[in-house]
Amino acid sequence: TAKLDPTAFRNLDIQAGEDGVWIVTLNRPAKRNALDIATIEELITFFSAAPRAGVRAVVLAGAGDHFCAGLDLIEHHDADRSPADFMHVCLRWHEAFNKMEYGGVPIIAALKGAVVGGGLELASAAHIRVMDDSAYVALPEGQRGLFTGGGATIRVSDLVGKSRMIDMMLTGRVYKAAEAVDLGFAQYLAEGDSYDMALRLARRAAENLPLSNFAICSAVSHMTNMSALDAAYAEAVVAGVVNTQPDARARLAAFADKSAARVRPDE
């Protein structure tokens, strides 16, 4: 097991819930939660420890009106980085986002306001994305003289296809929440606050057995990187471990004795 001390974070606000649902909030609203290197390091610290620290699900939110304005452009400007420096910055971003996507702990992103550039890359590393009406997505890299460096070429193109991603980068196109959900940037459009819905979904996911969630939130991503032949093999191995876990016996028994809830369209 790993230890997570919520007071050890500065750019993230970390709240541990009793039900195992932790709230991780990007907490630089005055900078629209732009991702400086210190924030990336805190994301690495949190998401490296979370799978072994009893975290059953995470709501990832942003303080203020915007989820995240992407790369901290001021820090990048001031640092005047060499190519090698920025390559290493990007590798730290990948470390953080890969820990999220492959870590095995469900992450539900509560999106509002700007979800742009690196902010969209961060959101794309979550497992579920919830938008409210205020949310919008864009990849302004082209206009800024930049390119994506936090995995958008992989995850954003996976969500919405490469032609749409290339158009966004070339033209600065902005998609507002309803259309963004239709296109697949997010799975949910919340009626009220995206945070409330994200929390409900996180609590629901946290009711699953941790080993099932581990498989769902790591194996699926790994398998999409494999050939179909190898993915089928890996799926059998993972299912062998997960589907025989002792903790599942009570759930299966409840189905057998008809006390477990049935799958219904309106529940």
Residues lying near ligand 1HE in the complex (CB under 6 A): 31-32, 34, 66, 69-74, 90, 93, 114, 116-118, 140-141, 144, 146, 148-150
Burial label, 7 (beta-carbon count in 10 A; 0-12, 13-18, 19+): exposed
Shortest reach from residue 116's CB to ligand 1HE, in Å: 5
Q: Mark whether 121 is an active-site residue.
A: yes
Indicate the residue whose CB is closest to ligand 1HE.
117
Shortest reach from residue 166's CB to ligand 1HE, in Å: 15
Rg of the chain over CA atoms, in angstroms? 19
For residues 113 and 210, which CB has a smaller minimum distance to ligand 1HE in the complex? 113
For residues 4 and 165, which CB has a smaller minimum distance to ligand 1HE in the complex? 165
- Residue of 141, 179, 235, 267 marked catalytic: 141
- Residue of 121, 207, 235, 267 marked catalytic: 121
For residues 108 and 137, which CB has a smaller minimum distance to ligand 1HE in the complex? 137
Shortest reach from residue 39's CB to ligand 1HE, in Å: 11
Shortest reach from residue 172's CB to ligand 1HE, in Å: 9
For residues 148 and 213, which CB has a smaller minimum distance to ligand 1HE in the complex? 148
Report, as residue numbers or ranges, the catalytic residues: 121, 141
